Structure 1
Amino acid sequence: MDCKQIEQILIDALGLEEAHASADGSHYKVVAVGECFDGMSRVKQQQAIYGPLNEYIASGELHALTIKTFTPTQWKREKIFNM
């Protein structure tokens, strides 16, 4: 599965401000940034990402997904901290 396709699926489904996906073989990493995560538990955030990708996970096209979610404010702090 193409990383750009994953990003677009998540942006369209969740109205995210940013989505970044990377792949190492069949292992994928997703960073998602959106207001929709504000006030959500970590479990709910993970479920929000899995939802739109579920058919690709079920088909085996998408495997071993690592997810990091941020609100826009958290994302700004994360980028500054990791510079």
Structure 2
Amino acid sequence: MTPERVQDLIQQVISCQHLEVEGDGHHFYATIVSNAFEGLKLLARHRLINDGLKSYLDSGELHALSMRATLTPAEWEARQQ
């Protein structure tokens, strides 16, 4: 699995305004910015992504995904300043 493939899978789960994925083929790290996170607490944001990728995680095709940040566009913009 490549970072580009993980990025594609995440974009199939939710529409992203910004998405960065890095990794070595086994462990991946993502920064995800999406309107879908509006009104959700951190755990719910992570659950949304993990539930959408469940079949890949369960099969071992996607070994590990760490979410560095799951932000709304407004939260992302505030961090950029």
Instruction: Determine if the TM-score, normalized by the shorter chain, exceeds 0.5.
Output: yes
Q: TM-score range by the shorter chain?
A: 0.7 to 0.9
TM-score by length of 1: 0.83
> Which segments of 5 or more consecutive residues in structure 2 lack a partner in the other structure?
none
Q: How many residues align?
A: 80
Aligned to 2:3: 3
1:15 to 1:25, Cα distance in 2 relative to 1, 3 A: closer
1:13-53 CA distances to partner (integer Å, 9 max, x unpaired)? 21121221110351111111011101101111001111221
User: Contact conserved, 2:3 with 2:25, CA < 8 A, in 1?
Assistant: no
Distance 1:12 1:62 in 2: 15
Identity rate, percent: 26
Partner of 2:20: 20
Q: Paired residue for 2:71?
A: 70
TM-score by length of structure 2 reads 0.84
When the two chains are superposed, the root-mean-square deviation of aligned CA atoms in Å is: 1.5
